[in-house]
Structure 1
């Protein structure tokens, strides 16, 4: 119970009260009126969460094979694999962009939205699509599926906004 100020309430037989220190549990044997619970003290901070944005901007999955960073992935039964723009079987299971690399069985960080930056990129200002084997490209596909991944705002950054696949 988080109390800003003392709270008064009644206990009925069988009601359970945990003391503010949570070191003692009291079960009322008879009716008690006007039990006072005083405000508690702030507890210690919890552990830090993973770096990144809020919500489901980032997820962690297990690599189904060796995966390089900056590959678009799909999820199949909790394992992730690079997605190919011609893969009709898995094209609708798009998960996001690998922002870490790993061997099969390793945990992979996957970004689903927001800005991704990599100093090795050299994008032209404009659209970015899914290519072969999870690679990103600025050349729209002429067969398979067209999947707009996002927009290159600078030479080294992409604003992810993964769109639904469109069969070409």
Structure 2
């Protein structure tokens, strides 16, 4: 069956181009069973349900599963505030040392080259070639000490610790006396007194 149609000629006066943009929505879900919400960017959805927390569009945060705390792990070891290096010579305990070719030797305030090389304080006496434990932070106690509390402790001759500040070579605070028999180790910047 044919229909009669009046056909009108349409004149195109202006041409318009429509551009449709496409957005990619990246959804991160921590739990495969979590619900994902369909929202229009850049809105943010915060739901009170425990399975729904955030959603992302590109780099913008928008939906993820809420993290849950896991079981406690094993206890960690104590922090290490000392290092071990072989002794180049026999070393006494509780003396300031530096390294020479990877081996520990006494630091000395009269040797200006030692000013920036002090590594720490020996934790005990060791023989030549044995590993010296060298503490560079934290508290150190020695019953034979008689420090004035709240005063700095300096590097002296051949690594001996002293409270009077040296007047030659360099002056380096290696700690602060907290008790007569205890210091808090923490080296400061050295002051070179003479070259």
What TM-score range do you get, normalising by the shorter chain?
0.5 to 0.7
2:144 to 116, 120, 138: 120
| Aligned length, in residue pairs | 119
What does residue 89 of structure 1 align with? Answer: 113
Where in structure 1 are there 5+ consecutive unaligned residues? Answer: 1-44
1:70 equivalenced with 2:94 (yes/no): yes
Specify which structure has the higher proportion of strand. 1
User: What is the Cα deviation at residue 90 of structure 1?
Assistant: 2.8
TM-score, structure 2 as length reference: 0.57
Please say if residues 97 and 122 of structure 2, whose CA atoms lie closer than 8 Å, have aligned partners that are also in contact: yes
Deviations 1:67-125 (A, max 9, x none): 00011000122100011001122332111000021111011111000000011111111
1:144 equivalenced with 2:169 (yes/no): yes
| Separation in 2, partners of 1:123, 1:90 | 24
| Separation in 2, partners of 1:143, 1:100 | 28
| Separation in 1, partners of 2:103, 2:94 | 17
Deviations 1:101-156 (A, max 9, x none): 11110111110000000111111111111110000000011111000111101010
Where in structure 2 are there 5+ consecutive unaligned residues? Answer: 1-73
TM-score, structure 1 as length reference: 0.66
Please tell me whether Structure 1 or Structure 2 has the larger radius of gyration of its CA atoms. 2
Runs (4+) of structure 1 exceeding 6 A deviation are none
